[in-house]
Each structure stands twice: as structure tokens, then as C-alpha cells.
């Protein structure tokens, strides 16, 4: 089983729609969680950290369910510029160790 699993998509949604991605992780002792965004042929960039109580950053909401070992990302009022691959990322051991990436979920926003 992969340490971090995501639905690869692609998700193709109209502008203005709400879209949600889930991600599951295998190590119940995982310490910290993130969503990264990666544009085509570019490096990954941190979108947001995911906190136990859930957190919001503008149109983006991230949630963590430790009992079920999944993380979610909700994008409201999607924009064309949101088209990208969204990578679920986990620190499986401690915050000082390496981060592990999921395979990413491709999102395409259509006009």
C-alpha cells in the first residue's frame, strides 16, 4: 500500500463550481499534513498546511480526519487559474523528517 494515496482525476469542472479532493495516508503516527500545488512542468509549491481543527485560506478549506486517516481539500468558486495538479503531502514520522507526496489529483477548470 502506498503511504499517501489520491484519486488521480482528472477533475473537469466549470468555473465557479466547488470541487473537493480527498487523500488517505497509511501511517497513523503521521505528524503533519499539507496540500501542494504543481503547475505543468513546474516545481511543487505549498498551497496550505492542514491542521487538526481544519483551516481555511480564502476559497480553500483543508480538513484532517485522523481517525479515518484522510485529508481533504475544498475549493469554492473555482477560477480558471486553479487548474493544476494538487498534491497531498504527509510527514509520516516527525516534522523534522522528509515529506511524502501522493501522486496528485489533476484539476481542470473550464470556462
Partner 1 sequence: DTGVSQDPRHKITKRGQNVTFRCDPISEHNRLYWYRQTLGQGPEFLTYFQNEAQLEKSRLLSDRFSAERPKGSFSTLEIQRTEQGDSAMYLCASSLVGGDSQNYGYTFGSGTRLTVV
Q: What residues make contact with partner 1 under the rule CB under 8 A?
A: 4, 6, 8, 32, 41-46, 87, 91, 94-104
Q: Which of residues 79 and 93 has its CB atom nearest to partner 1 in the complex?
A: 93
Taking alpha carbons only, the member of 10, 56, 62, 9 closest to residue 32 is 62
Q: Shortest distance, CB of residue 68 to partner 1, whole angstroms?
A: 21
DSSP string over 14-41: ETT--EEEEEEES-TT--EEEEEEE-TT
Q: Which residue, 52 or 97, has its beta carbon nearer to partner 1? A: 97
Shortest separation between residue 63's beta carbon and partner 1, angstroms? 20
**Residue 105 is placed in which grid cell?**
489529483
Which residues, at least 6 apart from 97, have a Cβ–Cβ distance to it below 8 Å? 91
Residue number with CB closer to partner 1 (6 or 78): 6
Q: Minimum distance between the CB of residue 32 and partner 1, rounded to whole angstroms?
A: 8
Amino acid at each position: 500500500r502506498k503511504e499517501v494515496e489520491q484519486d488521480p482525476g482528472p477533475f473537469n469542472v466549470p468555473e465557479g463550481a466547488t470541487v473537493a479532493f480527498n487523500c488517505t495516508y497509511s501511517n497513523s503516527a503521521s505528524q503533519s499534513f499539507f496540500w501542494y500545488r504543481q503547475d505543468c512542468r513546474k516545481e511543487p509549491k505549498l498551497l496550505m498546511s492542514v491542521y487538526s481543527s481544519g483551516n481555511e485560506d480564502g476559497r480553500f478549506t483543508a480538513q484532517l480526519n485522523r481517525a479515518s486517516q484522510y485529508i481533504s481539500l475544498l475549493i469554492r468558486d473555482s477560477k480558471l487559474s486553479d487548474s493544476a495538479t494538487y498534491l497531498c503531502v504527509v510527514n509520516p514520522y516527525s516534522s523534522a523528517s522528509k515529506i511524502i507526496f501522493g501522486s496528485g489529483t489533476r484539476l481542470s477548470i473550464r470556462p
